[in-house]
Structure 1
Amino acid sequence: MTAVLVLEDGRVFRGRAYGAVGVTFGEAVFCTGMTGYQETLTDPSYARQIVVATAPQIGNTGWNDEDDESARIWVAGYVVRDPARVPSNWRSRRSLDEELVSQGVVGISGIDTRALTRHLRERGAMRAGVFSGEAIAAEAELLARVREQPHMKGANLCEEVSTKETYVVPAIGTKRFTVAAVDLGIKGMTPHRMAERGVEVHVLPATATVEDVYAVDPDGVFFSNGPGDPETADHPVSVMRAVLERGTPLFGICFGQQILGRALGFGTYKLKYGHRGINQPVQDRTTGKVEVTAHNHGFAVDAPLDRVSDTPYGRAEVTHVCLNDGVVEGLRLLDRPVFSVQYHPEAGAGPHDAAYLFDRFTSLMNTALMESARG
C-alpha cells in the first residue's frame, strides 16, 4: 500500500505503508542508532516525533517482551528504508511491523532515508505527516494539514507521558539509599540502574510537589528525561529550586538537565536538528575522558563553557561537552551535591561508557549521610 511523507517545507517522499495504515503528525527527526530500535520507540522522550531511522535495515531482531523502556510506543510515526522481511532472534515474539500495527503507529518504508536525513540536517527538524490508505489526498491538501500542526517549541509534554501514580522500584540486594525520582518521561532502565546499586526508587508524577518529594524521606532526588520544550516546564523548575534550597543530593538527565539549567538561571534553546542516537562523543571535562554516549534531545542549556558561573545556589560549571558541536552536556554545582548530564547514562541498548554517573550519584548520597551522622 502506498504511503506519503510530507514535510512542512513542501518536500515529499513516497514509499510503502509500514505499521498501521492511516495518518499521523509530528516533528520529523532522525536517530543514528544502528541497533536498539525497540528502546527508541518506547522512550517517552520521543513523544510527538516522527523518527527516521538512519540505519538502512530495521526490524532484524523483531520485537521482544523484555526491552521496552515504558508501557507503550511513544513515537508519533516511524520511517525506515528497508524493513526486515523475517525477524531472527531467539528472544523475538513478533515482528516490528506487527507491533506497530497492534499499537496503531503509522509508518512508511521504502524511501531514501539518507536523502531525508541530509535534508533534515540542512533545513532542521520540522513538522511532518505520514499518510497512507484512504488518508492520501492531493499534496497541497496534505501539506496544509501538516502546517496546521503545533511546533515542538512551546510544547508542554512531560505531564502527558509521566506516570499518574507513584510507584516503587525496590533495591536489588541490600537497600542503601532512597531516591525520589520525578518522572518527566522516565525510561524503565533508569530506576533499574539505581536499583542495581542498592537504591529504592520512588517514581513520582511530573505534577509532584516538593512536599510529595520529601514525603518519601529521600537521600537523593532525581529528575528524569522527557519530551517537549523545557521553557514550558515551570512546575518542575519550581520543585527543583526547592530541592536546591535544601541541599539534598540531586541528579538530572536530559530534560532533567534542562530543568536544572533553568533553575540555576541559564536559558535553554532549540537545536537545529538535535542529538539522537547511541554514538555521540562527549568529553567529561573533570577527567578528560571521552565517552561514546546515547542521546535524545532537541533542546539544550545555554551556559558558558569558559568560566564558572555564579547562581542563586552557588558556583556552577559545565562538566561535559559534545565534541561534535560544543553543546553543553553536563553541569554541576561546586558548593552543593548537584550535577546533571544531557545524555542517557542508563543507555539501553548501549553504550555503557557513562554508567559511572550512577556511582557518582550514590557517592554524593553516601557522603551526605556520613556528614549528617557526624553532625
Structure 2
Amino acid sequence: MNKLVLTEEESMLADMARGFLDGAAPVSAFRKLRDEGQTHDAKLWKEMADMGWAGVLVPEAAGGSDMGFAAANVIAREMGKTLAVSPFLSSAVIAATALRQVSDDRAMAALAKIASGDVTYALAVDEGIKHDPDASAMEAKADGNGFRLTGKKTFVVDGAMADRLLVLAKTADGLTLFDIPADRAGITRAQSNMIDARDAAKINFDDVEATGDDVLGQVDSAMDILKPALQAGQAALAAEMTGLTVGALDMTVSYLKERKQFGVEIGRFQALQHRAAHLWCETEVTASAILNAGRLLDSDPDNAEMAVSLAKAKATSTAILAVQEGVQMHGGVGMTDAFDMGFYMKRARVSAEWLGDYSYHAEKVAAARGF
C-alpha cells in the first residue's frame, strides 16, 4: 500500500472526528466563544478526552491509545476544518510527546492526567518575535539542589488557561526543560487574545523555585526531550492548517456555485475555475506532505526533521493562499466580520507564526539538503 494514503483505521478515525466536530464544534460555536470573550471550551475538551483524543499519543499503560503521530495529525486536520478550539496541540501532542521521552513514574502519572483530560499543558519556549528555542535566554540559576527561574516568555499558546507549563531555560552548560505548575509562586500570566481569538499568554518568571524533580529529562540537555515534542507539534499544526485550508476551500467553492453575476453562477467563469482547481491541487500535495511527516515520526523519528519542516512550510504557504483566494473570490462579503472566511484567515496568520514560520522551516529543509 502507498504509505501516503490513509489506512482504513485512519479513515475511520477521520470520519468519526468529522461527525463529532460538525455537531459539537462547528464554526458557529467558535464565533459564539469569540463573541463571549472566551478562548477555551472546557466542556468540549472533556468530551474530546472522553473520546480518547487527549490520549492519542499516551502509552496504553498510562490510559492512552498510543495510536501514533499520523493518527494525531488526522484528528488535528479535522479540527482545523471547523477551527475547533482546544488544547489538543499543546497538551495531547507537544506535552505528551515530551513526557513520553522520560520513562519514569512521574512522567507516566502526568501522561495519565493528560489522557483523562484532567490536566492541560502549555509550552513556554519563545522569548522574541520569532520561534527560536536555541536562543532562549531565560535564566535558571542553581540554588542548592534546585534552581531559580527568572525571565519572560511570549506567545505561549494556551498559556493563560494551562494547568502546567513546559519551560525552557538556560542553565550553566546548556538548556534545561522544566515541568512546573502554572500557579507556582513568582509566575505571572498576562492573557493576550490573538487575532484569531485564541489564548496566547505572556508569562513572567520572577525568582521562581524549581526543584530537581521539576527537571524533565537531564539538566543541560533539554533538546533531547524538546526536539521530538516540537516536531510532533509542528506536524500536527501543519495538519490543522491543512484542515483550515480545506474548510476555506469548501466554503469558497460553495459560494462560487451559488453566487450569480449577470444571471450566471460565477463558478462557471473559467478564470475562477482555474484558481479553485489550482488551490485544490495545492491542498492535495500538502496533505501528502503532512501524511509523510506523520509516517516518519512513527517509523523513523530520528530522521523526520526535514519531512516535518517541509510539511509545516508547505502547509503555511497553502493555507495563506487558500484564505487569500477565499476572501478575493467572495468579494466584499469576504472582508466582513459577519462572514466566517475572516476567521480562517486570522487562524492561518497565527498558525503560520507558531512553532516556526515559513522561512524558519524552509531554511531547515535547505540545510538538510546541503544548501
TM tier relative to shorter chain: under 0.3
What is the TM-score with the length of structure 2 in the denominator? 0.24
Larger relative strand fraction: 1
> If the length of structure 1 is used for normalisation, what is the TM-score?
0.23
